[in-house]
């Protein structure tokens, strides 16, 4: 039950922060910048957390669960990414669709790798 509570609390905190960031930045651009930045930051963060928790054993299993599964799971969002992409396609904005999709995938993977690397050099 403790693990469920950790994921619940971390997920709630991550979701609220994502809501605030995306709500502030997304209306400013035709590109969903807020969600994009959240997903990139979350990818970097989850790599870093898992590097510290699993590889370096600096974080406890409970802290890793709270931060990686809970916070990062709530903070980043594939469902919003998918919805925003269909909105770009529906609007015929193929350029931003391409940038958003490719950037999210390739930069997200690069951010996870970077987070893992950063956790190793600390």
CA-based end-to-end distance of the chain: 33
The DSSP letter of residue 92 is T
As a residue count, the chain comes to 122
Per the structure, the complete domain to which residue 33 belongs is given by 2-121
Query: For the whole model, what pTM was predicted?
Result: 0.81
Whole-number pLDDT of residue 30: 92
Query: In the chain, which residues have pLDDT < 50?
Result: none
pLDDT number for residue 111: 97
36 closest CA partner among 90, 112, 107: 107
User: What is residue 91's predicted lDDT score, i.e. its pLDDT?
Assistant: 97
In this structure, the number of other CB atoms found within 10 A of the CB of residue 102 comes to 10
Nearest Cα residue to 75 out of 4, 26, 12, 118: 12
For the chain, the domain total comes to: 1
Contacts (Cβ under 8 Å, ≥6 apart) of 87: none
């Amino acid at each position: 039950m403790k693990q469920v509570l950790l994921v619940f609390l971390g997920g709630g905190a991550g979701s609220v922060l994502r809501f605030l960031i995306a709500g502030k930045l997304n209306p400013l651009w035709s590109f969903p910048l807020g969600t994009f930045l959240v997903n990139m930051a979350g990818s970097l963060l989850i790599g870093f957390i898992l590097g510290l928790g699993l590889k370096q054993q600096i974080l406890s299993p409970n802290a890793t669960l709270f931060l990686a599964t809970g916070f990062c799971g709530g903070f980043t969002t594939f469902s919003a990414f998918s919805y925003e992409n269909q909105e770009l396609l529906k609007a015929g904005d193929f350029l931003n669709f391409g940038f958003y999709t490719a950037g999210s995938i390739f930069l997200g993977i690069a951010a996870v790798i970077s987070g893992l690397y950063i956790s190793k050099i600390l």
